[in-house]
Each structure stands twice: as C-alpha cells, then as structure tokens.
Structure 1
Amino acid sequence: MNTASNAAAAHATAATNKTFFGKLRALALHALNLHLQNCAVIAEAYRRPQ
C-alpha cells in the first residue's frame, strides 16, 4: 500500500479532528484504508496459484 499518502492524510486530519465532521472524515479515511488493505490481501490471494 502507499503508506506515504496514508501518513499525509493522517497528518492532514490531525488539525481538523476537533469538529464532528473532522472526526467523521478521519473515520472515513481509516475505513477506506482498511478496505483497500483488505482488497490487496484478496487480490494477492487470488493472484497466487492454487
């Protein structure tokens, strides 16, 4: 995964994490990151020969 963009997104949300929408945005970014990691695991398992 691209951890540089994840770190940048986490750093960008640190300043806006005070409001409700800032917290919601941080939660959405975290959920998206977990989803993409899950997709990468599934793609890797699918790519490997049986």
Structure 2
Amino acid sequence: MNTASNVATARTAAATNNTWLGKLRALALHALNLHLQNCAVIAEAHRRPQ
C-alpha cells in the first residue's frame, strides 16, 4: 500500500532523519503504517462471509 501520503511521509522523514527526534518520528510513522496495514487485513477478514 504505497499511497501518496506514504511517499510524502517518507520524503519528510528522510529530510529530518539526521537527529534522534527525526529518527524517532520516522520509526513512529513506520509503526503506524504497519499498524494500519494490519487493521486493514483484519477488517478484510471480518468483511468476508463465512
């Protein structure tokens, strides 16, 4: 799932990745992206009829 917002986030994170705060921000955004992908998978599994 490579959306325009993810690309913009990656560019922003790359620009601020030289400080510890920038690295922490990039890590938090990556964790959020993984979490949202996981939620999408779970939602899709629940949406399908059994």
Structure 2 residue 15 is matched with structure 1 residue 15 = yes
What is the RMSD computed on CA atoms of the aligned residues? 1.1
TM-score norm. by structure 1 comes to 0.94
Higher relative contact order (CA 8 A, sep 6+): 1
Runs of 4+ in 1 over 2 A off after TM superposition: none
Percent identity of equivalent pairs = 82
User: Which blocks of at least 5 consecutive residues in structure 2 are unaligned?
Assistant: none
User: Which blocks of at least 5 consecutive residues in structure 1 are unaligned?
Assistant: none
TM-score norm. by structure 2 comes to 0.94
